[in-house]
Structure 1
Amino acid sequence: MSWDSYISSLTKSEWVDDAVIIGAAPGQESVWASAPGGWLSGVTPAEVQAIITKDRGTLFSSGVTLAGRRCTVLRDALNVDGQNTMDVKMKTSDKEPDPFSFTIGRSMNAIIIAKGVKDAHGGKVNPPVFDMTAYLRKMKM
């Protein structure tokens, strides 16, 4: 199965400029598809494991990392049936002064991550990920 069409579907939104789909099964946390030229393809298995951990207690205080970039967790409903998304915002630095928004979705077998364009808030980035996650869960994927 090719996941490239799912990436195209996410990045056709005017609010999303990078996306990645990653395996979520233990030991299979590899990139299945990513937007050409996007840096989300650098998300590591350890970062995926930290996102899908059952121990959700430290996510708000410690945040998560996406392809080496530190992010603050704004909303965590990744394991809430019917929602299955998490909204995060990249922490700024001198090297990267723009605080991009991200939405992370979890289907049965995959993690879907979309990065918003500059100045796009989570409310604009979340709908395409939410819809895709809901579809994939409905299809048992």
Structure 2
Amino acid sequence: MQGQSEIAVNKVNDPQTLETVFAIRREVFVVEQNCPPELEWEYEDESTHFLAIVNGEPAGVSRWRKTDKGYKLERFAVLKQYRGLGVGKALIKAVLNDLPADAGYIYLHAQVQAMGVYAKLGFVPTGPQFEEAGIQHFKMVKE
């Protein structure tokens, strides 16, 4: 993919688009990263989902949900061919912009290799490194 890419991030409001979200998560987490499928699908109905489109094609996904701790950003996944174009950053910004105005405590579990993009948008690591679905993570909190 050469030249400038047009990235749009939309909130998912219909079952057909949600299937596209799940297909991208399946490709990135289950197929590529070998996450157990039974750990991948949880809290779907209580989450607000997003789909990133690059030049008209589905490219990445994310979601947020309210937990007993605060607002958790989750399931950031970008298809391999769209990485390095700013899709992850666009998804993070869209999710943050969608949170309620009174969202105080905002956090996520970042895969170690993705911590840099979160840090650029104001997240800081807290606590020890841990394993989730066979992958090393750090909890990061929005400052």
Normalised to the residue count of structure 1, the TM-score between the two structures is: 0.30
Q: Which has the larger radius of gyration?
A: 2
Normalised to the residue count of structure 2, the TM-score between the two structures is: 0.29
* Structure holding more strand per residue: 2
